[in-house]
Amino acid sequence: MSKTVEISISKPLLGKEEERAVIRVIRSGNLVQGKQVEAFEKEFAHLCGTKYAVATDNGTSALIVALTAAGIGRGEEVITTPFTFIATANAISFVGAKPVFVDIDSDTFNVDPSKIEEAITKKTKAIMPVHIYGLMADMESTNKIAKKHSLLVIEDSAQAHGASILGRKAGNWGTVGTFSFYPSKNMTAGEGGMVTTNSEQIAANSKLFRNQGMSNQYEHEIIGFNFRMNEIEAAIGREQLKKLEGFTKKRIQNAAYFNQNLSKIAGITTPFVPDGFVHVYHQYTIKVERPYPLTRDQLLEKLHKNSIGARIYYPKLLNDEKVYATFKHKRLSVAEKVHKNILSLPVHPLLTKKDLDKIIGVVADV
């Protein structure tokens, strides 16, 4: 990649509001377990439409907390996608369960519901769809399968803040949902994560587990860890949440402009959005195939030479990672093909029309 990246793949949008919020927390002297975290939890639950939200220190912790709070543990299996960041599978492994990878849909890049049922065994406890790139998985089909087999559904919504199906938001379709506030996400808290649920018991379990299992000071009911969000992160998150709708609107506008121009190029496939779905474009991901004259990797190199920070998310399937290579997997033919052809272009809200036109021009100029 060029040393100077003029157009980055992602960029957090932090302003005076976040700065002032942080200063207020510092001046208060209360840096942990305070009113900012409680308020952020309530406001984020309102966004998702859930009864409860429990803040954590990062997105991976949110996954671990959600799995543990839902009672998933050693010897059990969780069906998930191989086409995501490794934190999804690592969290499943951390609680002692086994990730079982199933193939994806070639259009949405999300778990293919038709492949879920055939992967269910006596050990299966849950399904964990990942809303990849900001487009929700087929939750109606997933929930029907889960209900039929009495399985839990854990939504990995790390990339899908505000995404929805028929108006129902990510994090409010499964037994429990999780989010990340890493700086590259659609909204950030610096770091941080969130667990969402409509289950009073899962919410209570989550609060215990993230705080060393402590119900009252020095009274510990379960073995837990310190997965708490701090007040500074929560203060930033609250300000970002106020701006999320505007961020999302700009991402959708940028994506629409890309669609209008890139869809004309033979061999370039723009993102597919099913009817009733709201895609929030954490990433704008195209497929690069024949008759486009360049390979995906050649186009990536060309973009980098033009100081455009395009990326491949993800260069390896999880079942090809060394740590999971010894697992027995069925052939994942769609995922194996798709991950060799996908390429993510910058789509964040700070991009100007000039930036968008430059990206389009580089892709089109072949």
Q: Dump pLDDT digits (tens) for 284-318.
A: 999 999 999 999 999 999 999 999 999 999 999 99
Q: Dump pLDDT digits (tens) for 75-127.
A: 999 999 999 999 999 999 999 999 999 999 999 999 999 999 999 999 999 99
The answer to whether residue 168 scores a pLDDT higher than 60 is yes
Report the DSSP pairing between strands 152-156 and 124-128: parallel
The answer to whether residue 3 scores a pLDDT higher than 60 is no
pTM over cut 0.85? yes
**Averaged pLDDT of the chain:** 97
Helices (H), the chain: 16-28, 35-48, 59-69, 87-94, 113-116, 139-149, 200-209, 231-262, 296-305, 333-338, 353-364
User: Which helix (H) or strand (E) element contains residue 259?
Assistant: helix 231-262
- pLDDT at res. 110: 99
- pLDDT at res. 5: 72
The answer to whether residue 1 scores a pLDDT higher than 50 is no
Mean pLDDT of 204-214: 96
Domains for the chain: give ranges and CATH numbers.
16-239 (3.40.640.10), 243-364 (3.90.1150.10)
The answer to whether residue 328 scores a pLDDT higher than 70 is no
Q: Dump pLDDT digits (tens) for 216-273.
A: 888 899 999 999 999 999 999 999 999 999 999 999 999 999 999 999 999 999 999 9
Going by pLDDT thresholds of 50, 70 and 90, the confidence category of residue 2 is: very low
